[in-house]
A and B are shown apart, each in its own frame.
Chain A
Amino acid sequence: MPKIKIPHKSPHVDMTPMVDLFSLLLTFFMLTATMKPSEPAPVDTPASISEKATPDKNIMTITIAKDSRVFFNVDNGPDTILHFRPKVLEEMGKRYNIVFTPQELRTFEKNTVPFGVNIKEFKSYLSAKDNERAKFEKGIPIDSTDNQLALWILFSRQVNPSAQTLIKGDNDVEYPVVKKVLDILQDKNVNRFSLITSLEKVEVVEEAKK
């Protein structure tokens, strides 16, 4: 019997097109990915059936942490030409007779994380290093004697009248705190706002279709 010759084939697979495609995809996803800034307080948001996505510009966010501390953030997303943040802080400083240096305003502008800092400690908060800032985060005062949250809301809306209000609350915040924040908002004529929630699967309401 004649020997059957198996043709000698190289076991190499040309991976070039695959690598090309992968690097393309990787570049795309890396560029589109927005890094989530670290938050001073972890907040576990409740779920709702709403499918509306969070707007990413013209927003101010009021965060209520589990321990009833209130944080505030005014953000204009990637649109930094308008310099809303330093303007708001400047107005706030004027009210409390604190003059912020251009350096401090720049630090505030760059660091777009929610803050829960009393305005009187703001200077030392801004000059502190990133990892030392936590001790200043005692929450923004919301009492009627020194209602700084109301002023933050007021000035943010003066600087950017189209700012939408978002409330991000933790599951376990007690209602009286929420009520207080809502009252402050209503005092400042903000009657329409959005609550940040995570998406819950829509349960089919079968019972009604009897």
Chain B
Amino acid sequence: MAEIIQEEKHQGGKKKPKKHSTEIDMTPMVDLMCLLITFFMLTTAFAKPKVMEIALPEKIKKNEKVDPPKIAESRTLNIIMGPNDKVYWYPGKADPAALVPLQETDFSATGIRQVLLDRNRALFKKIEAFKDDVTAGKVEIKQDSLQAAIRQLKKSDDTGPIVLIKFYKKAKYKNFVDIIDEMSIVGIAIYIVTDINWIEESMVEHALGIPSTSSAPTAKK
């Protein structure tokens, strides 16, 4: 972009008044503007963070008597977040008499996602097929009603797992977001974030190989 400014050669002894070029060298200005534009373009494009929506069940008041919802044991899948990004899971219900060994896995594509997919294949396929139909133009649907349609598909599903998500006390916030994210990747219809109980705590501690810090609560009822 450099400009070459031609200078007139003065020859001879006669002194002429110097002719200044009327043009201004704009190169530095253009350089600076290029730089600033690039800067502002990049910062505006990447500034906005995203949000992930999550809804928790309404809290049960202390003096309110509500029966715990009945869920099929065969459909239940418990996921416990352990320390150091470890993920433990076991199916069904924890029984203090016969402890089920915890399965250990992680957040890689072949880890917990595979476990969830295996159990949620039917629903996942349905959702994927529906999405494919939409992109192929077989189903005419607006973009904002796509989410609603998927929600409807999830609602009518009765084969997928019911996932109970629990956190061992040393779990990190990252795990919390990751596991809920995993639920939306795999398209799990029903998942609940709930408190860990003492049986599961000791199961995690057993799996970690550290002495158990929790024991059966003394009968309070």
Contact pattern, A 191-210, Cβ under 8 Å of B = 1, otherwise 0: 11111111110110101110
Cβ of B136 under 8 Å from chain A: no
Contact at B55–A172, with CB atoms within 8 Å?
no
- For A166, give the chain B residue with the smallest CB separation: B51
Chain A residues with Cβ below 8 Å from B37 are 22, 25-26, 29
Chain A residues with Cβ below 8 Å from B44 are 29, 32-34
Q: Report the separation of the CA atoms of residues A207 and B117 in the bound assembly, to the nearest whole angstrom.
A: 9
- Asked whether A207 and B109 contact (CB < 8 A) given A26-B33, A175-B172, A186-B56, the answer is yes
- For A164, give the chain B residue with the smallest CB separation: B51
Selected from A49, A53, A64, A207, the residue in CB contact (under 8 A) with B51 is A53
Q: Report the separation of the CA atoms of residues A203 and B111 in the bound assembly, to the nearest whole angstrom.
A: 14
- For A185, give the chain B residue with the smallest CB separation: B56
Cβ of B106 under 8 Å from chain A: no
Interface of A, secondary structure class, is mixed
- Asked whether A11 and B3 contact (CB < 8 A) given A48-B181, A50-B53, A171-B172, the answer is yes
Cβ of B167 under 8 Å from chain A: yes
Cβ of A39 under 8 Å from chain B: no
Contact at B81–A50, with CB atoms within 8 Å?
no
Contact at B30–A19, with CB atoms within 8 Å?
yes
Contact at A46–B51, with CB atoms within 8 Å?
no
Contact at A22–B50, with CB atoms within 8 Å?
no
Which interface class (under 10, 10 to 19, 20 to 34, 35 or more) fits B? 35 or more
Cβ of A18 under 8 Å from chain B: yes
Selected from A19, A51, A186, the residue in CB contact (under 8 A) with B29 is A19
The interface-forming segment of A87-95, A129-137, A176-184 is: A176-184
- For B185, give the chain A residue with the smallest CB separation: A49
Those of B1-23 within 8 Å (CB) of chain A: 1, 3-4, 6, 23
- Asked whether A186 and B117 contact (CB < 8 A) given A171-B172, A171-B174, the answer is no
Contact at B173–A50, with CB atoms within 8 Å?
no
Contact pattern, B 30-46, Cβ under 8 Å of A = 1, otherwise 0: 10011011001101100
Which interface class (under 10, 10 to 19, 20 to 34, 35 or more) fits A? 35 or more
Cβ of B71 under 8 Å from chain A: no
Cβ of A143 under 8 Å from chain B: no
Cβ of A67 under 8 Å from chain B: no
- Asked whether A22 and B30 contact (CB < 8 A) given A11-B4, A196-B51, the answer is yes
Chain A residues with Cβ below 8 Å from B34 are 22
Contact at A178–B176, with CB atoms within 8 Å?
yes
Selected from A25, A172, A209, the residue in CB contact (under 8 A) with B128 is A209
Q: Report the separation of the CA atoms of residues A194 and B56 in the bound assembly, to the nearest whole angstrom.
A: 11
Cβ of B49 under 8 Å from chain A: yes
Selected from A54, A64, A205, the residue in CB contact (under 8 A) with B185 is A205
Q: Name B residues whose Cβ lies closer than 8 Å to a Cβ of A.
A: 1, 3-4, 6, 23, 26-27, 29-30, 33-34, 36-37, 40-41, 43-44, 47-59, 81, 109-110, 113-114, 117, 121, 124-125, 128, 167-178, 180-181, 184-186
